[in-house]
Structure 1
């Protein structure tokens, strides 16, 4: 059958009344879960697995997949309105989404996020339907050396996330990498940076760092900020033609980057969103406006994280290899209902494979229809008076962190990272590189050590493999060239200052 015939077959599975209801319930539950810091899709799917007992395999996966991409879709809301990312994949969304909300453009920010998410998810679904088997073969060709090189390339996004302060950005990224290796070394059993605390043996939870550095630090900043307590305007959610034209290229590029990142096992929506944001900022002429409410800086990571979420189903369905923590739980759910994902799944269980793909497309449409009318209601959060809003954000952070580990030690860590985030902002250190280092540090270390084990300690393994060598070359260029170009532009500006006859603004 052709791809269109396969999709038509999948739609016939989805439009069965029971399955259509499961799509609606899945994406609705996922959206709500994504809005709440701490309750990520992994927890939600794990809790829902027992409810799938006795279901048809296609119906079970349709429900659980809906929760997954619904959570990725909904996680942008808390990132934009409260600077408290609901899930790790929406951290990059807060870089420009939250400044837009503070500037009275919350309605537009949420509308851009909804549209970019829909476009990214739809693009990825079409790619998934057309070239899934081929991409599965490509994903297999990535070994430890290639993954290490890919993570190094991802870390070079620090140049675009440093907001013109490269040295401070590199320091923040290094600190993030150091935090990522806290705990027991899985290979040697060595304790690293635990300071004798058993609570640190399993490392520092990503959620603790993100909520501390972003949400709690913002609470501290606002609490110490002098001046009148003005309620922020929601603003219009209508996007004009000029605004749509502005975000369209960024949305397209984010969709492509996100999907092909999601295809690689272990990368996932978080890495995809950072790469999408970094690419958009790197090629933009107005880089300084990123991080201050640039719509392109919101559209790119939103398209990327949704495209990556769909792309992560490629290795899951075609190879039986989970592409992220969430798809690892989905793999367990598939095995529970008696499905063995892999190359034979196309022929043996086509109703499951194509039913899930078609359900994602239907679910994306449902998400758009659900979320756009809710934007004015959600944006009213910004009208909450500051004395009430700030304690609510703290409560969300505390509940989100405690619900993951039930550990009071993590609450102290939350406070510590909140203070660190506040001090970083006060002294001009960008927070985004810290999160980037935290995300990529562990994956990079594991990949490097595996590659060296395979090569018996020969470091040339990273340069002798074509894919690895190409990615490292790109990383070198992307890290070295932008600062050189910026320095060259600064010299030109010094030698040829722009003359103006306009009167200075008083």
Structure 2
């Protein structure tokens, strides 16, 4: 085994492979930072260029693009509240308020540290835990999926702001909008046009809900200082701040690894799950959503913790963990590699090369993040009167480029108006987005579970995993209600 590792290390340690991985990381960071330009698009566009490359360098290029784009989404989320990727939406909740306080450098540094640690832990988990986690993933069926997603939905309570009722209203609107389109039985709901039959894409809803309301506010509420550039600040993350967030980083990485290993969940759900858990256990829970570094740490460690973990079911079982690894499955097959249990017998050297390359790419991600950080922070120095139309053009171009659909652009603009209306009514946007992302997962697995049991609801309590999540749901709901009752009594005491 040691000889195999040394041979793999020797094969990876070439200038060509390092340049390929560095180019992938840099390209991924840039693509991820552009609103609407997702990691899936980056990997898909790069796929044809890998046809004439050797197997391992081609896979390492795609993996590097995946990792870079996942981190890159946090850059625009922090600087202009326009998440480059859906998984970075959670980062915007605390990153943008920090940028407004002149601490964008601190927020970007924390995002980078958390991303690299989450990515490294994910890679280590892939190397040592691929088989056990893949077996665990096989035990998670529709009932377990459904209970897990309902538990993730309880994070709504943590991001509802001062009013839990308005947070629940926002989440219900998100769940309602998630039903647009075709269901698993072929029925159409709210399909008023042909374009609506396919449902609403996450990207236009996400960017319309978070980015456009900020632009509308700048236009409607003209500020005397509207021409001023945002103060960036290059504050480093202090040792005490990093250590205070380390627990959330480790926990977020673990959440990313476990959820990433379960096919179909992805980094967005992991980020919100981790954020909710960090808020519940943090001493600074009241500061979440107002500029809390721990919130950034929890979100970024979880979504990057999914990167390596999504490769676990792909390599061990031949089952893609998400859309991007689905594209990578095609790359494996094109290169003559068949993912699955036999891969570790027939192509062990290539597997070792892939593992070593992924660990190296974690180091390259840190270097690329540090080098591009100052370049990206120039965005915050652009006067708002120039930045506003530039961001609007980028949003429209990015959304249109995903599927060349004017319908998505219309959804983007409509959601911008909806988001601004929610702002005027003090309805929080984060619960809406959480429910919109998790809604289809909850519904699909709910209906599959009931189809399996022929309508018997007891299937949701048929396994230990279901019971664990049911207990956690009751526990979180109980704590939330208790906290709200305490707040209500406190307000009554203050008014009397």
Trace 1:76-95 onto structure 2 (pairs within 5 A). 76-95=74-93
Trace 1:232-271 onto structure 2 (pairs within 5 A). 232-271=230-269
Trace 1:108-127 onto structure 2 (pairs within 5 A). 108-127=106-125
Is 1:194 aligned with 2:191?
yes
Q: Given the alignment, which residue of 269, 272, 281 partners 2:270? A: 272
Distance in 1 (alpha carbons) for counterparts of 2:129 and 2:7? 17
Trace 1:75-154 onto structure 2 (pairs within 5 A). 75-154=73-152
Distance in 1 (alpha carbons) for counterparts of 2:352 and 2:156? 39
Distance in 2 (alpha carbons) for counterparts of 1:133 and 1:266? 18
Distance in 1 (alpha carbons) for counterparts of 2:318 and 2:7? 22
Deviation at 1:246? 2.1
Structure 1 residue runs of 5 or longer lacking an equivalent are: 498-506
Deviation at 1:450? 1.2
- TM-score, normalisation: structure 2: 0.95
Q: Which residue of 1 aligns with 2:315?
A: 317
- Is the deviation greater in 487-496 or in 320-329? 487-496
Deviation at 1:387? 0.9
Q: Which residue of 1 aligns with 2:210?
A: 214
Task: Render the CA deviation track for 1:182-208: whole Å, top value 9, x for unaligned.
Answer: 112232x2211112x011111111111
Q: Given the alignment, which residue of 442, 452, 455 partners 1:454? A: 452
**Maintained 8 Å contact 2:152/2:273:** yes
Deviation at 1:23? 1.0
**Maintained 8 Å contact 1:62/1:355:** no
Q: Which residue of 2 aligns with 1:50?
A: 48
Q: Which residue of 2 aligns with 1:203?
A: 199
Cα distance change, pair 6–117 in 1 and its aligned pair in 2 (3 A): farther
Poorly superposed stretches of 4+, deviation over 4 Å = 5-10, 492-497
Distance in 2 (alpha carbons) for counterparts of 1:251 and 1:13? 33
Q: Given the alignment, which residue of 224, 231, 235 partners 1:228? A: 224
Q: Which residue of 1 aligns with 2:480?
A: 482
Cα distance change, pair 169–54 in 1 and its aligned pair in 2 (3 A): same
Cα distance change, pair 227–46 in 1 and its aligned pair in 2 (3 A): closer
Q: Given the alignment, which residue of 263, 288, 298 partners 1:300? A: 298
Deviation at 1:421? 0.6
Q: Which residue of 1 aligns with 2:388?
A: 390
Distance in 1 (alpha carbons) for counterparts of 2:448 and 2:338? 27
Q: Which residue of 2 aligns with 1:176?
A: 174
- TM-score, normalisation: structure 1: 0.93
Task: Render the CA deviation track for 1:133-190: whole Å, top value 9, x for unaligned.
Answer: 1111111111111111111111111111112321111111121122222112232x22
Distance in 1 (alpha carbons) for counterparts of 2:428 and 2:491? 25
Deviation at 1:17? 2.9
Task: Render the CA deviation track for 1:300-320: whole Å, top value 9, x for unaligned.
Answer: 101111001221111111111
- Is the deviation greater in 229-238 or in 78-87? 229-238
**Maintained 8 Å contact 1:159/1:482:** yes
Question: SS at 2:457's partner residue?
Answer: coil
Q: Which residue of 2 aligns with 1:32?
A: 30
Distance in 1 (alpha carbons) for counterparts of 2:217 and 2:73? 23
Distance in 1 (alpha carbons) for counterparts of 2:334 and 2:417? 44
Distance in 2 (alpha carbons) for counterparts of 1:45 and 1:492? 52
Deviation at 1:487? 2.5
Distance in 2 (alpha carbons) for counterparts of 1:244 and 1:384? 29
Deviation at 1:6? 7.0
**Maintained 8 Å contact 1:7/1:129:** no
Task: Render the CA deviation track for 1:97-143: whole Å, top value 9, x for unaligned.
Answer: 11111110011111111111111111111122111111111111111
- Is the deviation greater in 274-283 or in 42-51? 42-51
**Maintained 8 Å contact 2:25/2:368:** no
Distance in 2 (alpha carbons) for counterparts of 1:175 and 1:270? 19
Question: SS at 1:157's partner residue?
Answer: helix
Deviation at 1:247? 2.1
Deviation at 1:490? 5.7
Deviation at 1:408? 2.1
Deviation at 1:18? 2.4
Task: Render the CA deviation track for 1:329-384: whole Å, top value 9, x for unaligned.
Answer: 11122122221111121121123322222212211111211221332221121111
Distance in 2 (alpha carbons) for counterparts of 1:298 and 1:403? 29
- Is the deviation greater in 300-309 or in 220-229? 220-229
Alignment root-mean-square deviation, CA: 1.9
Structure 2 residue runs of 5 or longer lacking an equivalent are: none
Cα distance change, pair 225–46 in 1 and its aligned pair in 2 (3 A): same
